[in-house]
Amino acid sequence: MIAVAVIVLLICALFFGLGRRLRQLPLPYYEGRHVVITGCDTGFGHMLAKELDARGLSVFAGCLTNNGEEELKKSCSRKLRTFPLDVSDPDSIKKALRYIKAQLPDDTGLWALVNNAGIAGSVGPVDWLTRRDYEVVMSVNLYGMIDMTNACLPLLRKEKGRVVNMTSICGRITLAPTPYCASKYAAEAYSDCLRYSA
């Protein structure tokens, strides 16, 4: 019985070690792939931009603040490009799209768009929250996602690319009555609509 347990543990350790090693290997097909990520100042967007840059992809990292751009540039290769982006502002999205198009090689599109930008917004009982509280959160977590996707779709279609929408468990289970939960439920529904139309 002990011998079987030892063998199972060794096999598990082997698979774990092999899987970890495989994730560290550079993959040649990443070369020449262009990815746009929103919300790269901190958190998941920041970590993803660094990870994809380390793996050799060409990353366009949208940051809300100058400080966010500078922090990311310090820890990444020169291949990564940052640009100012407020997904709640259609003009900012248009400027970002012009920048991305100008940086892409001729006849090249996007391999992926990662809609990561998001805000938590106000928290409290429903009768304390106003329509404005919901509008502020929806403008980033839902409308920003929709506007970025619509702006990038022609470039994504060129490369048969993909859209990755970052949502939350709060888009499936309401953990607190907040505009955040409402926005994430809506983002889940939008993602399903996008998937059906692809």
48 within 8 A of 106, measured Cβ to Cβ: no
- In a domain? residue 150: yes
SS3 62: strand
Vertex 192 angle, CA 31 and 131, to 5°? 110
Question: How many helices (H) does the chain have, and how many strands (E)?
Answer: 7, 5
Residue 22 placed within a domain = no
Q: What is the CATH number of the domain that holds 168?
A: 3.40.50.720
Q: Where do we find the tokens 């929709």?
A: 146
Number of separate domains in the chain: 1
Q: What is the pLDDT of residue 170?
A: 80
Residue 83 resides in a domain: yes
pLDDT of residue 69: 94
Tokens 């092999």, located at residue: 18
Is residue 102 one of the residues assigned to a domain? Answer: yes
> Residues 123-132: contacts with CB within 8 Å, 24+ apart?
123/176, 123/178, 123/180, 124/177, 124/178, 125/177, 126/177, 129/177, 129/178, 129/179
Looking at 143, 180, 185, 190, which residue is catalytic? 180
* Number of neighbours of residue 123 by Cβ within 10 angstroms: 14
Tell me whether residue 1 is in a domain: no
Token pair for residue 7? 């063998």
Q: Would you say residue 109 lies in a domain?
A: yes
Domain that holds residue 186: 29-197
Residue 19 lies in a domain: no
Asked if the structure places residue 48 within a domain, the reply is: yes
Mean pLDDT by 10 residues, the chain (198 residues): 72 74 63 93 95 93 95 92 97 97 93 96 87 96 98 95 92 83 94 88
Element (H, E) at 126: none
pTM across the whole model: 0.84
180 included as an active-site residue: yes
